[in-house]
Structures are given as C-alpha cells and as structure tokens.
Amino acid sequence: MSTGGIEPQIDRPQQSLIRRIAASFRPYLSQITIVGLLILFTAGLGVVNPLMIRVIFDSALFPESGSPNLNLLWIIAGVMAGITVVTGAIGIVQTYVTNQVGQKVMRDLRDRLYRHLQTLSLGFFTGTKTGEIQSRVTNDVGGVQNVVTSTITDILSNIVILISTVIAMAILSWQLTLVAVGIVPVFAFLTRIVGEKRRAVSAEVQKSTAEMTAITQETLSISGIMLSKLFGRQKLEIERFHWENQHLSDLVVRRQMTGQSFWAVMQTFFSISPVIIYVLAGYLISGIGRDGISPGTIIAFTTLQARLYFPIGTLLQVSVELQSSMALFERIFEYLDIKADIVDDPEAVDIQPERVAGAIRFDSVRVNYVSNNEEAQESAKTGDPEPRWALDGIDFEILPGQLAAFVGPSGAGKTTISYLIPRLYDANEGRVLIDGIDVRKIKLESLSRMIGYVSQENYLFHASIRNNLLYSKPDATQDEMEAAAKAAYIHERIMEFADGYDTIVGERGYRMSGGERQRLSIARVILHQPKLLILDEATSALDSASERYVQAALEPLMKGRTTVAIAHRLSTIMAADVIFAIDRGRIVERGTHSQLLSRGGLYAQLYDEQFQGGKVECHCEDGVVFSDGTVAFAEDGRLTTSR
C-alpha cells in the first residue's frame, strides 16, 4: 500500500506479533494468573486418582494379608470422590474466568478496531470490500475468543497433564513408562497425517461456504437481483449456485469421513496401547516377579495411559489452531496499522459555525487517487509516464453566499473537488481554504458542523424517518424537524404514511422514491444548518415533477449560504453566480452562464447536449429558446418551461 495523501498508509509493525498479542492480554494479567494456577492445580490433581487405584487394588481390595481392608477402602474412595468434586468445581470457576478474559480482550479489540476504522479516510473504504471490513470486525475478532478459552488453556493444561502423567507413570514402573513413551512417536505420526487431511478438507469447506455466501449476497441483493432479472441471467445464476452447493455438500461428507478416520485412529490406539502394556507386564512379572509389577500397578498404569496420548493428540491439534489464531491477530493488527491519514492537525482550530463567512478558495490543488507523491517522484526519475491526476492544478475562489456551479463531462473531477472541502480526501498538492484558513488546520468536527453535503447517494439508515432526520441534529425539537421537512417539501408525504415520522425507511431507503429520498436528505441538511452547502446533483432520472420538488426544496437551503453545486440542473446553472467548466482535472472555462455561452466552448457544447436535448435557437437575456419550441427561463433560481 502506498503512502500518499489519498491512499491509507501502513506502518509495518516493529513489535513482534507475539508481543503485540501479549499486550492485548496485559490488562487482564491477574485473571490470567489465576487461571494458570487453577490449571496447574487441577491438572496435577488429575494424576492422584489413577495413583489411588494402585492403593485400592493392592492395599485395600487384595492386601497381602488376604481379606480386604474396608476402612482403607472407604478412605480412599472418599478421597477419590472428593478430588473429582473439587476438580469439577474448580473447572466451573476456570471456565468463568477464561470466558470473561476472552470476551474482554475481544471487546477491547472490537472497540479499538471500530474506533480506528471510523478515523480512516474515504480512500480506505472505496478501496476495500465492505464484506471484508465486516468480516474483520466480527469474524476475526470473534475468533480471538477461542484463543483464550480453548487454545491457551488447552496448551497449558495439556502440558501439565503430560508432565504429571509421565512422572506418575515413572513412579509406578519405569520399564512400562519407557515403552508407553516409546510408542508416542507412532501415535503422533498417525494423528498428524489424518489431522492434516482433515484440516485441508475443513479449509476447503470454509472456502466453499464463503463462496456460497458471496454468491447469495451478490445475487440476492436488491441491485443484484435487478441486474440478473434485467439481463435474463437467472438461469446461469441458478446453475452457478447449484454447482457451488453440490461442491459444498460433497466436501462436508468428505470432512465427516476424515473426521471419523481421525477418531478411528485415536480409538484404535487407545485400545491397543493397554494391550501392549499387558503383554509387556506379563514378561516383566515372569522375569522380575510379582513384587515389581502388581495388578494394581497395571490397572493404574493403563488408566494413566489415556492421560498420556490424549494431551499429545490435543497439543498436535492446538499447534495448528494457534497458527490460525495468530493469523487472525495479524489480520486485525493489519487494519489497526493503517495510519489514519485524515486526522486533526495538532494546531487545528475550532471555528464556531456563526463565525464562518463562507469563502472557499482552491490554491493550485492537485489530487491523484492511484499514486502518491513518492511514486510520482520515483516514476519521474525512472522516466515512467506521470500518473494521472484526477485534479491537476485547480485554482478558484467562491465568495461568501455565492452559488458556484461545476459542470463537465463524467470523470472530469467535479466530485473530487467537492470531496476536498469537508476533507473526505486531502489534496496531494496545493491548499483548500475556507475563509482563508487551510481546511487541514480546521478541526474535523468544526468542518462537519459548517458543511452540509447533499450527495447523489442519499444514504438513509434502516430506521425511522425521524431517526434519519435527527442524525444531523440529535437534539432538534419536533417543530424544528417538521419545519425542515416542510422546507424540503417532504412533510406532507411523510404524513401520508400511517406511522408518519415513525415510518421505517426500508433497506437503503428503497421504500421511497428517488425524489423523496433526495428531499428527505435535503431536510436532514436543512436541520444541520450548515454555512457551506455542497450539492452533488443527481443526474439520475427524476421525473420532472420530482425534479421540481427537489429544486423547490433546495432553494431555501441555498439562500444565504455559499453553495458548491455539481450541477446537472439547468435552473441551478442559470442561477449560479459563477460557473466552472471542468475537463480532465482542470478548469477550462469560468464565468457566468451568458459569458460562457457566448464563448461557444465546452460549456456551450455541454449545455446544448445536456439540457432539453434540443438545439438551442437563442440564448436570450434570461432564458433559452429551443428548436422544439420549448422556452426555459430562470427566475429567482427557479426553472420554468413553457411552450
């Protein structure tokens, strides 16, 4: 990733990954220590019962004296039962504490990640799939919980179990211990082979599940389903889904089968290994006599054996889990390492909205989305062609209260200009100034308070109309809200809904028409009372009635405010104090409507092509006569057409 003004930057982590992971756990060190001690205690306690078995058999049930020692039997039975109960109770405490720690670490990471993502510039979000971001915030962080509750505790407890078991076995019989430990490599080898196979299939299952989710998300979204219906691609989409679906079900069967063979290997081993011990014990008894290897020793030993292989099996599994957990952390840290490039300068000032006059100036502004300064310098050195500049030396000044219209072909750079004012992006070169102050020296909060942006996107949350409106001013009164809605000509439409202002707006506002959505977002900006207004006018086909409504909604909003309009509406353009015609990142013409028309350049050409579609017969003082007989004239910024 590059390090320019537009692209987010990555500061390669200097600390090692493990140290960073450990740092996430540091606040909970005391709880983790408690868990560690509990694990040590219970795992150690676990070998006591198998050792007791020898005492039960050799001293209580079948003592040398002949008849069973019932007193001893009761005592040992009581101890064994007590140990089991205590271990169980400690297990409950341990689970509680580990889950608490796990959840807290997860909560902290999620918070940190979300807080950080909020500070990243628009550039990061346009360059990253939404699903990818969601997945890191929810799935990856979610996976971290496992690291604490199972991976780390599994490692610790199994190591303790392993060591204590080997010691206990050696106490019982060192000869049998040598053999039991000697067959461990065979066991490890077998479980490893089957385990690897199982993991490979599991990874494929995950990939296939993700693919299914992606297909479903893409093709069953509103836009996706529209696209497939409109292009008649349903049959193909159904086939694609079916193929992936079939693939997934085959894989799941394979996963089950490899899982089964994994358990088969484990089971076989668990059954065979005591048999080996019995045979060996037979030879030992006939060699060194019954004293060395008593029946109680054999029973206790074979009981302990399960405690030897099971932890090894688990540790082999856990080592892989640990790797994938590390990968999860790495993915989370990767996002946390992306430098927030658009942040408050230490010297940034707070400006009260009432003190803003509203002058906007661009001073030799250059913006390059793809590359950055370093690369540009590099390419200049190596003689590569210069990267393409989305804005290439933009200079202009808009006076307080003026309406400035930006026109130009698609991709000319109009939206980019509008993005620089509220610092959705920063310029790579040059300066953007509001009332003579570089926007980079104004606090972001002040900027968002003074600027209102009506974009083509008109994003509405899946919430009530009221909540959508109040987003710009949470403390607005009902009267203020209704006044804004009335000014935006949407109040009456809202009142037609049974639930009025409490009507829930559908996903991305789909239950409302394009014009209604626009008016609602205009009402939202009216409530915000910005000093500077940016309008990215929709080219999308609003019918002429909606268009007029939207226009009427905008007029009171523009009054007394500096307005930057990416203009597609004839009325906006004709009423503009100054028009800038943009082409390939440069201002090619500037002036008023009539000045630009009489020049007969880009603006005149756009104007003829875009508006009314007809050939312009006459550019009169306050209107235009088209060849089809339509007359368009602007009066107080309002467009009226007549035949």
Q: Which residues bind ligand ADP (CB under 6 A)?
A: 126, 369-370, 390, 408, 410-416
| Cα–Cα distance measured from residue 208 to residue 97, given in angstroms and rounded to the nearest whole number | 36
Quote the crossing angle between the two packed helices 295-336 and 234-288, to the nearest 10°.
Answer: 150
Closer by beta carbon to ligand ADP, 398 or else 494:
398
Closer by beta carbon to ligand ADP, 232 or else 385:
385
| Cα–Cα distance measured from residue 594 to residue 605, given in angstroms and rounded to the nearest whole number | 13
CB of residue 453 to ligand ADP, shortest distance in Å:
14
Tokens of 413: 């750079």
Q: How many Cβ atoms are within 10 Å of 530's Cβ, its own excluded?
A: 24
Closer by beta carbon to ligand ADP, 105 or else 606:
606
Closer by beta carbon to ligand ADP, 119 or else 128:
128
CB 441 within 8 A of CB 348: yes
User: Sheet containing 429-434: which strands, arranged edge to edge?
Assistant: 391-398, 360-367, 429-434, 437-438
Closer by beta carbon to ligand ADP, 527 or else 533:
533
CB of residue 421 to ligand ADP, shortest distance in Å:
13
Tokens of 625: 């006569």
Closer by beta carbon to ligand ADP, 198 or else 414:
414
Beta strands in 381-428, from DSSP E residues, in sequence order:
391-398, 403-407
Closer by beta carbon to ligand ADP, 292 or else 411:
411
CB of residue 123 to ligand ADP, shortest distance in Å:
6
| Cα–Cα distance measured from residue 579 to residue 355, given in angstroms and rounded to the nearest whole number | 27
| Cα–Cα distance measured from residue 176 to residue 57, given in angstroms and rounded to the nearest whole number | 18
Closer by beta carbon to ligand ADP, 356 or else 390:
390
Ranges of H-type helices in 529-569: 544-558
How far lies 66's CA from each of 59, 110, 299, 300, 310, in Å? 10, 67, 19, 21, 37
| Cα–Cα distance measured from residue 299 to residue 320, given in angstroms and rounded to the nearest whole number | 34
**Beta carbons within 8 Å of 532's beta carbon, 6+ residues apart:** 356, 358, 360, 421, 434, 450, 451, 452, 561, 562, 563, 564
CB of residue 367 to ligand ADP, shortest distance in Å:
8
CB of residue 469 to ligand ADP, shortest distance in Å:
27
CB of residue 587 to ligand ADP, shortest distance in Å:
12
CB of residue 580 to ligand ADP, shortest distance in Å:
11
In the chain, the amino acid numbered 324 is: S
CB of residue 124 to ligand ADP, shortest distance in Å:
10
In the chain, the amino acid numbered 517 is: R
List, in sequence order, every residue forming a beta bridge with 638; answer none if it has no partner: 635
CB 640 within 8 A of CB 632: yes
CB of residue 538 to ligand ADP, shortest distance in Å:
12
Closer by beta carbon to ligand ADP, 47 or else 578:
578
Closer by beta carbon to ligand ADP, 30 or else 410:
410
List, in sequence order, every residue forming a beta bridge with 9; answer none if it has no partner: 339
**Residue 384: strand, helix, or coil:** coil
CB of residue 128 to ligand ADP, shortest distance in Å:
11
Closer by beta carbon to ligand ADP, 408 or else 530:
408
CB of residue 599 to ligand ADP, shortest distance in Å:
20
CA atoms within 13 A on the CB side of 61: 12
Closer by beta carbon to ligand ADP, 92 or else 541:
541
CB of residue 135 to ligand ADP, shortest distance in Å:
21
Closer by beta carbon to ligand ADP, 410 or else 478:
410
| Cα–Cα distance measured from residue 625 to residue 613, given in angstroms and rounded to the nearest whole number | 12
Closer by beta carbon to ligand ADP, 31 or else 415:
415
CB of residue 432 to ligand ADP, shortest distance in Å:
14
CB of residue 415 to ligand ADP, shortest distance in Å:
3
Closer by beta carbon to ligand ADP, 199 or else 590:
590
In the chain, the amino acid numbered 234 is: Q
Provide φ and ψ at 143, rounded to 5°.
Answer: -65, -25
CA atoms within 13 A on the CB side of 421: 29
| Among 379, 371, 421, residue whose Cα is nearest residue 396 | 421
DSSP notation for 454-523: E-SS----SSBHHHHHHTS-TT--HHHHHHHHHHTT-HHHHHHSTTGGGPBP-GGGTTS-HHHHHHHHHH
| Among 180, 199, 181, 182, residue whose Cα is nearest residue 191 | 199
b/e per residue 165-198 (b: at least 16 CB within 10 A): bbebbeebbebbbebbeebeeebbebbeebbebb
Tokens of 530: 């910005």
CB of residue 121 to ligand ADP, shortest distance in Å:
10
